[in-house]
Amino acid sequence: MIFHIVNVLISQDEDIDLKINERDLTRCTRHINKELKTFRSKNPCLTVSLRFTSVKNMKKLNSSFSGVNKETNVLSFAPDLKEKDEKDNYVGDVAICVDLVKREAKHQNKDFLDHLLHLFTHGVLHLLGYTHGSDGKASEMEALEKQVLKKLGIEDPYQIEL
């Protein structure tokens, strides 16, 4: 099911000190909607709940929900079609591990915000039903990510300079 993204609710763990400009995330979601050609009137509305989390908490989330006992940079939790927020929008959750994203950005010679927006886009596409379980599906998802990021002025995230 494809949704039209209408809002991003941002929260963070107590031990995370991250100042993110909500306009960057709003621009990102606007480009996702445009790239996917979603419309508010034709698609269910989606509020994305974005949580910036620590390595410790991400490891717990990954273990609890994926059975993998290690940290990861981003996790997505698809919207529950029985649950809606006060504005009657479905809610999907994305968690991003800030410290791991910082380490990856440094190791891959990427700007931190560019990398974070890439992972946010990746997580949101998972909420919308995109996967990378096969080569064909991975290529489709990566192509969408690249298109959205290009519109944000971010270079191809899969071209890593080590």
Each residue's pLDDT expressed in tens, for the chain with a length of 162 residues: 799 999 999 999 999 989 888 999 999 999 999 999 999 999 999 999 999 999 999 999 999 999 999 999 999 999 989 989 899 999 999 999 999 999 999 999 999 999 999 999 999 999 999 988 788 888 999 999 999 999 999 999 988 665
Tokens 């927020």 belong to 85
- pTM summary value: 0.94
Between vectors from CA 65 to CA 123 and to CA 52, what angle results, nearest 5°?
A: 45
Half-sphere exposure of 7 (CA within 13 A, CB side): 14
Q: Output the pLDDT for position 160.
A: 66
CA dist., res. 55 & res. 50, Å (int): 16
DSSP assignment of the chain equals ---EEEEEEEEE-TT------HHHHHHHHHHHHHHHT--TTTS-EEEEEEEEE-HHHHHHHHHHHHS--S--SEEEE---TT-B-TTS-EEEEEEEEHHHHHHHHHHTT--HHHHHHHHHHHHHHHHTT---SSHHHHHHHHHHHHHHHHHTT---TTS---
Distance in angstroms (rounded) separating the CA atoms of residues 123 and 139:
16
pLDDT, residue 96, reads: 98
Pull the structure tokens for residue 32.
């996702």
Q: Which CATH superfamily is domain 4-151 in?
A: Metalloproteases ("zincins"), catalytic domain (3.40.390.30)
